[in-house]
Amino acid sequence: MQKRTLGKSNLEVSALGFGCMGLSFGYGPATEKEQAISLIRAAFDRGITFFDTAEAYGPFVNEEVVGEALAPFRNQVTIATKFGFEGGKPQAGLNSQPAHIREVVEASLKRLKSDSIDLFYQHRVDPAVPIEDVAGAVKDLIKEGKVKHFGLSEAGAKTIRRAHGVQPVTALQSEYSLWWREPEEEILPTLEELGIGFVPFSPLGKGFLTGAIDRNTTFADGDFRKVVPRFEEENLKANQKIVEVLGDIAEQKHATRAQIALAWLLAQRPWIVPIPGTTKLHRLEENLGAADVQLTSADLRQIADAVSKIEIHGARYPERLQQMVDR
């Protein structure tokens, strides 16, 4: 697995990371613990060194699984986790008070079986707490050795600049894929200017870009996609065009849709590190194959031309969650 450095930091990670959320949270029933541990270790065995979790995934259980899975090779991997919700529960609202950030660090370190957190993201921007105070709190934790790098998630360009002025931001984690390209307008230029890495979550469109989901798909209880407007039946039907485009390119390149979608992201900037997640070993191996797919400038033009003609239907979040996205 090739390595990439997140922006101008010294944080080098595998070119593809592993998003661990879906093992415990967001996509229906949690994966059985031993099976989840086995999959995380399989990812490490195949070259992944960058693992993403959060106290809110579960809450708490995902960090515990990640901590146990990676304990045997803790010094060989980068673990990212997040703070920012009251009691670790998104439905309880935001809390990025400095005292709360400190409480989260101590609890996360125990669950992760670690002396320090490699990359500590603010999960969502808290309008009640100046971002300078948040960055200052993390700066103190970095001085104490409890955190190594500071990150933001779903933060707007102005917030990124303000935070970066207090404590350099190593990475921004936000949604970015062929069916959500808003970051190209303002976020990517800001990150490039400031030397900040980008970690796209949902790089496969929450599974949609793989071609495995269509208007007839039913989601399990507890699956977040049940309430996402973009996954409503009529929107899925309208959005199928982008899956067809990916299928055409994949056939030409002797690859899968997922591999093309990930290879496209990798081709956008050398400091972009997507974190696809899965609960299945064969999907993990398929995703890893994206690192070997070489998209030429002609391929990228073909994709850009085809996608530019497609209008994506449906919001990516229900309204209550959309309100938590910083602008």
**200 beta partners:** 174
98: its two tokens? 């400095």
Count H helices and E strands in the chain, helices first: 11, 9
**Rounded distance, CA 43 to CA 66, Å?**
12
- For residues 194 and 293, give the distance between their C-alpha atoms in angstroms, rounded to a whole number: 29
| CA angle centred on 1, ends 64 and 204, rounded to 5° | 65
Distance of CA 213 to the CA centre of its chain: 20
What DSSP line would sit under 47-80, residue for residue? Answer: T--EEE--TTTTTTHHHHHHHHHHGGGGGG-EEE
Choosing from 27, 57, 121, 176, the catalytic residue is 57
User: Is 27 noted as a catalytic residue in this protein?
Assistant: no
> Which residues are catalytically annotated?
57
